[in-house]
Each structure stands twice: as C-alpha cells, then as structure tokens.
Structure 1
C-alpha cells in the first residue's frame, strides 16, 4: 500500500513540475516527454489535488488560471475517466452535460455560419444575426451560476477549493468577452477583423471550459458529493435557471429523503422575544422576505449565516451558500474588495460602505453595514441590495391611495 501512495505522490510531483515548466515558458511539445511518464491512471481527483497543492505552496489562483488553456491542452485525451457512473435523466450533472451539448450545437449551427456570413459581408442583417446569437449565448451565465452557486460550495466543504476558484475566474473571463462582443456589434465601426478574432476567442474559451467541466469537474463532483447533497442541488437549480434547454425529465430519486426539512426549522412554531416585541419565527421570516431588497448576513468569522428570499432577488442565492466562507462566494478577481470591506468593519475604521451599478433597466444600490453589539463588538456584516430605479424616477407628490 505504501508503494502505491509513494507512486501517487511521485506522479503528482511530476505533474506539478509540468505545470511549473509551462508557467516558466516551455511549450507543450517541450514537456510532453515528462508528462508521458505521469499520465497513466491520472484521475480528476489527482489533478484537483495537484492544483490544491500548488495553491498551498503559494502559486496565486490567477497564475493557475493563466495556465488553464495550456493545462487543458496537455491533459486533453489523457485523463482516464474511471469515475463515470451511469447518467440518469434529470440528475444535475446530466442536465449540465445536456446544456454543454446544446451550447456546442448552437455554436456549430448558428454562430459559426453567421460569423462566416459577417466576414464575407458586414451588413446590418449579418450584424443583427450575431447580436441575436450572442444574446442567446449569454444564457451560458445560468449554467455557470448553477455550477458556482450550487456545486462549488459542496466541493469546498470537502476542502476542494483550487479547481472551483480557477474555473470561476475563467467563467468570468468568458462573461466579460461576451459583453465586449455585444458592445462591439451594437457600436460596430467597421472593425471586422477585431470582432472576428474576439468571437473566435470566446468560442475557444467556452469549448475549453466544456472540456474542463466534462473531464475534471463533473467526475470529481460525482465521486465526492453524497446523494443528499445532489438532492439539495437539484431542488435549488430551478431558482437560477438553465442555459438553452430546460430539463424535460424529473430526476427519479433512488429514495425519498423522509426527514427532509420538516422541515429543518429549529424554531418551528417558536417565538423570539425582542426589546420591542415578540414575533413568531414564521412572522420574522415573512417580514424579512417582504422588505423590498436582498439581505445577506455574514457572521464575525466571514461565514454566510442567512439570506432573505425576496421574489425579485437581484443576485442569485441558493441554500448551498449557507455555511460557506464569503470569500468563496465571489469571483477571485473581486475577493480583495470583500476582504478590504470586512477588515475595515472589523477594525472599526468604517461602519458602512455603498456601491451603485447599472444592470440593464436596473439601477442597483449595494450597501454593506457593520453589525455590532451594545459594546461595539463586531458581530458580522449585513449586505442589502435594492433596485432604486423606481425611487429615482419619483417626481412631485403622491397623497392619494392607488386604485
């Protein structure tokens, strides 16, 4: 047994060396021989362990992300997918794979032909066809959001953090590319070659991400998560939505989770006494959900403890986020902002911080408040997000009831 462990450790060291050499500037061709010594029997979990170790040794997530395309090219065709259970219609992974098939089919049958026509003749019709294509392809955001908000939190509970962070960073790169393409097409200035290059780059990134999901993330998740966890993921998937397709089959569970949430309410039918009154847990829940905005509370240890369920929620939240480190709830590129806010709150330098952004027709105000006890001790942070466009549009006065 110790011999097997030593072999595994040796193989992982070779894989780490390959990544480092690629980072140092060597080409795929130059490292192929060394890689050939290590590929036999490589599983997704070993690649995960390798990336995890590199992060622990100090290689920034951004560096691993920069290597991602080359990294995928090296592993392509070499990963032995030995953890491939039978696909079950309706299972979250089955649906994610079907979405990937639909995305690839849409690229092949719509985007590529429309791009060819645009290259031959960049008239208004061909530009509008590409705009429609990119608008529909933006559905991929739902695919990535389910992955980031439902699967990643459970992987983190098993200390698998490096692959999710790397993938989330690339997901955001793809989102940014699609936004740039849409703007370039809407404000087209004859820069045909630039548009062509950017669309082809986006397609390449999307196809590489499909490969990484199919060969690394999905097998790793299937061999790690429990059935109860897959049930939670399945139950919350509808809230975020699906990309290009909708599941046409419900997942026929192997068993019914009888004690499921009886609902997991520790204060069911209980009351909470406040300084200014008494409310039942049901009343508290409904009051918080009736407030016109999204609330999320993070405790003093940066753990997400609660979020409200306003029906018009602006940013997606799923129950999988509860118990998750808030740093892991944000893309790698924005974690430093989160850290700065929390450090300012904990030190007492600030008590609140506000941001406002435009999102289509929405004008979103995002507010952060330091929550402290009567002695000024930091208890956590409250995030409150609200669409203030209707408020900004108010004029004059309203003194009569609406009819």
Structure 2
C-alpha cells in the first residue's frame, strides 16, 4: 500500500502527486490518501479518467481529516464493435417496450422475449444506464423495468438459481433476509383481509397487535437497505455501474416513508373510526406488499447477479466486513453469530 498525506501540499502539487503515485501502482495495489476535506471531486476525476478500473473506500470521513483507499483494478477492455452493436440492439428493444402503445405492448413483448432469454443482468443494467445518460428519466426507467422484467422473468429466475454461493457470502445473506421479508409480506397481506373481516377495533385486538409487530419488523429491515447502500452500492459505482444503484436507493427512500406511516397508523389506532383506520392502512399495506415484493425480485434476479459479475472476488471480503459492522435485522449469518458468542 502506498500512502500520501496531502494536507501540507498545495492543490496543484496534490494533483500531480496523486496521479504520479497511481501510475506506479500495479493491479491490486492500493493508494491511501489522507486529506483535510472530502476528496469526492477526486473520485469524479478518477471515474472520468479510469472508468471502472478502481475501487474507492472511505476509511475516515472527517471532521479533521479524511482518509480514502483507492484500489487499482483490472481495466475492462472497451466494447468490441460486435458488443457495441448488441448493446445498441438491446437499447432499441428497451425503447420499443417503453414507447409501445397499450394495444401494441403484447406484440412487442413477444418479439423481445426470445432476445431477453440470453441477456446477462449486467448487460441489461449497463444498457439501462446508457438510456438514462441519454435522457430517459429514472421514473420512466422504473416503469420500463416493470415491463421488461415481466418479459424476462422465466430466464432471469433460471440464471439467478444457477448462482451458487456459500451461506457466508453477502449475496447469500441478503437473499436469506429476503425470504424472511417475503414471508412477513404475505402475513401483512393476509392481515389486511382479517382486519376488514373484523369490522371493529373491539373485534380486531389480535390483528392490531400483529400489525404493531409487523410494522416494527419492517422498520427493523432498514438495516438490510443500509448495508446495500453503504457496502455494496459504492463498489458497483466504483466499477462504473452508477444508475442501477440510484434507482434502488430511490425505492428504499419510498419504502422507508411507507414503513413509518404504517408504524404511525398501528400505534395511533383507536383515534379514528375503524372505517377511517382501514381507509388509511389499506393503501399502505397494498403498496408495500406489491412494490416491496417486486423490488426484492429485481434485487435477487438482476442486482445481485450483476454485482457478482462486476465485483472482483477479493472485494467481497470488504463488503462482508462492512455488513458485519453495520449489523443485521431479521437474520444474522451463522458465522457472525458464532463469532459474536465467542467474543462474549
């Protein structure tokens, strides 16, 4: 590891020292930078200059000093003319799905289905990223994702199942958590029907207790999203995969707002009529049970396989270390629990 303390240096000298030191590094080497402010502009410079050939990790974030470690990765070869043509073809298919009128959509879907069977999750993500960079809004892209996921479901599910990883791997941990979250989403959906059947607070005491329990559970699952955003997404971004994590982050913000509303409704029940309570809680439950389930499907079948294709094998240990530091919610990996018991 090469270390540079930039604090005593002027701006021009800092720039020269950083890029000279980077040039000397071999693949897999790390440049450790100590600075007196957030070196985020340097990250943008590296992204422009080196694209996906580095991994960026903060070790200290202020207030007196900032420390970042930048690992030199293998630089991916530029796309061949054939790969560029395939990327453009994929983008055109995505555009057709996006622009199709309702009466045309089934026909366009059938035309796209055969092509999508062979598309790798990372290639799909990079095509989506280029479309966003070319002007498609993230809101439009999220709607488009729902359409092409419907087309790709059978093929994506098969590819995701072929991804065999040890239980201690960050992707396995996230997917195991997803199983528990989906189980509780099913409970939440069934609970809404039971609340409607109860007809009054007096007859719904048991269901209200379950609602409180589930609302607390879903607030606790924010640890899952926090680990993705702080441990996994920065690694993807360091490899040039920027837009897909942003779309997932926007989903996380929306889910957190709905989870808070669900908790507030559960705790404040009895302050309104039972009908008003149902009219308020019903749409929130319906939103979470549908949209969070779809979000999990996208993570299991696109985000995680894409991340596995993108990150270097050596990077996953760092992701796991950050997972452990942030902590777990509804599920903790066996090796983490065992180590925690050993220490205590």
CA contact (8 A) 1:181 1:195 kept: yes
**Higher helix share goes to which structure?**
2
Structure 1 unaligned segments of length 5 or more: list them: 252-403
Query: Structure 1's 148 and 25: CA in aligned 2 closer, same or farther, altered over 3 A?
Result: farther
Distance in 2 between residues matched to 1:150 and 1:15, nearest whole Å = 33
Contact 2:225-2:252 within 8 A present in 1 as well: yes
C-alpha displacement at 1:115, in angstroms? 2.4
**Pairing partner for 2:131 from 54, 68, 90:** 54
| Correspondence for 1:216 | 302
Give CA deviations for 1:350-389 in whole Å, capped at 9, x if unaligned.
xxxxxxxxxxxxxxxxxxxxxxxxxxxxxxxxxxxxxxxx
- Over 3 Å counting, the alpha-carbon distance change for 1:238 and 1:28 in structure 2 is farther
TM-score by length of 1: 0.56
Q: Does 1:157 align with 2:238?
A: yes
Q: Is the 8 A contact 2:255 2:288 kept in 1?
A: yes
Distance apart, 1:249 and its partner CA: 2.7
Question: Are residues 52 and 185 of structure 1, via their aligned partners in 2, closer, same or farther at CA, if it must alter by over 3 Å?
Answer: same
Higher relative contact order (CA 8 A, sep 6+): 2
SS in 1 for 2:314: helix
Relative to structure 1, the CA distance from residue 136 to residue 27 in structure 2 (aligned partners, 3 Å threshold; closer, same or farther) is: farther
Q: Hey, what does 1:41 align to over in structure 2?
A: 118
Alpha-carbon distance in 2 for matches of 1:139, 1:71: 31
Alignment map for 1:142-221 (pairs within 5 Å)? 142-188=223-269, 189=272, 190-191=275-276, 192-221=278-307
Judge conservation of contact 1:44–1:81 (CA < 8 Å) in 2. Answer: no
Residues paired across the two proteins, number = 249
111-120 or 221-230: bigger deviation:
111-120
Higher mean alpha-carbon deviation, 218-227 vs 239-248, is at: 239-248
How many Å apart are 1:74 and its aligned residue? 3.3
- Which residue pairs with 1:379 in the alignment? none
In the TM superposition, residue 30 of structure 1 has moved relative to its aligned partner by 4.9
Higher strand residue share: 1
Alignment of 1:384-403 (within 5 A): none
TM-score by length of 2: 0.65
Aligned to 1:70: 147
Could you tell me which of 169, 192, 199 is aligned with 1:115?
A: 192
Structure 2: 5+ residue stretches without partners: 1-78, 338-344
Cα RMSD of the aligned pairs, angstroms, is 2.7
